[in-house]
């Protein structure tokens, strides 16, 4: 369910644990000082799971308005070359998003595209989330969740991704590429969000 609306095969729990509650001692201070925390894990033999967290010195509502403007994602992540909403349900229960990206992996370049079903849940500016679920594309599997929570005098953004590309790249290489690229990409997202 998304805001009380059936989500066509995707279970969207009404409540889930606060990301703030899962912060380890000292992480809150590191986040508010501008550090981006990244944790990678193996997802499949050829995939990876990643969680990235960053602090935004802005109100959650302002971040939400920009993050749900999906064509702007080409500004947030330099690898994304195209991002557009191709369908929005009249009842606003979900949207269909198309994204294309080009990614350099060590000695080769990969071009990927993906069609996503997007579910938005805005909870009165306290906690909000966007869920991205793959319908088809250049991946064996892909899902992402973006969570926003009011924190200190701003917003804690948590971005979780699980993906297995169709190109057989060992999981360890994908994790290494994520560790190298994601902090800079998240920093770029923060710069764009703060510019408005």
Global pTM value? 0.85
Name the fold adopted by 28-195.
Alpha-D-Glucose-1,6-Bisphosphate; Chain A, domain 4 (3.30.530)
Contacts of 92 (CB under 8 A, 6+ apart): none
- Please give the C-alpha separations between residue 135 and each of 8, 88, 139, in angstroms, as whole numbers: 12, 15, 10
User: Are the beta carbons of 132 and 153 closer than 8 angstroms?
Assistant: no
User: Are the beta carbons of 42 and 48 closer than 8 angstroms?
Assistant: yes
Tens digit of each residue's pLDDT (9 = 90 or more) over 31-84: 999 999 998 887 877 778 889 999 999 999 999 999 999 999 999 998 999 999
Pairing of strands 127-137, 139-151: antiparallel
| Cα 84–chain centre separation | 16
Q: Quickly state the pLDDT bin for 124 (edges 50, 70, 90).
A: confident
Q: For all residues of the chain together, what is the average pLDDT?
A: 85
| Cα 189–chain centre separation | 11
| Cα 39–chain centre separation | 14
Tens digit of each residue's pLDDT (9 = 90 or more) over 145-195: 999 999 999 999 999 989 887 876 666 776 677 777 888 899 999 999 999
Q: CA dihedral defined by 92, 93, 98, 102, rounded to 10 degrees?
A: 120
Q: Where are the domains of the chain?
A: 28-195
């Amino acid at each position: 369910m998304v805001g009380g609306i059936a989500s066509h095969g995707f279970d969207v729990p009404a409540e889930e644990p606060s990301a703030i509650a899962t912060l380890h001692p000292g992480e809150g201070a590191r986040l508010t000082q501008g550090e981006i925390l990244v944790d990678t894990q193996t997802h499949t033999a050829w995939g990876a799971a990643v969680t990235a967290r960053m602090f935004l010195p802005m109100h959650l509502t302002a971040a939400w308005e920009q993050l749900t403007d999906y064509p702007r994602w080409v500004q947030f992540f330099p690898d994304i070359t195209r991002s557009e909403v191709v369908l929005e349900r009249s009842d606003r229960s979900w949207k269909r998003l198309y994204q294309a990206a080009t990614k350099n992996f060590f000695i080769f370049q990969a071009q990927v595209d993906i069609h996503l079903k997007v579910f938005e849940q805005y909870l009165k500016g306290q906690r909000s989330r966007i869920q991205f679920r793959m319908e088809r594309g250049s991946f064996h599997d892909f899902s992402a969740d973006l969570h926003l929570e009011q924190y200190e005098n701003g917003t804690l953004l948590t971005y979780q991704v699980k993906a297995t590309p169709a190109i057989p790249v060992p999981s360890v290489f994908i994790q290494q590429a994520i560790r190298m690229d994601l902090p800079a990409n998240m920093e770029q997202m923060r710069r764009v969000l703060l510019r408005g």
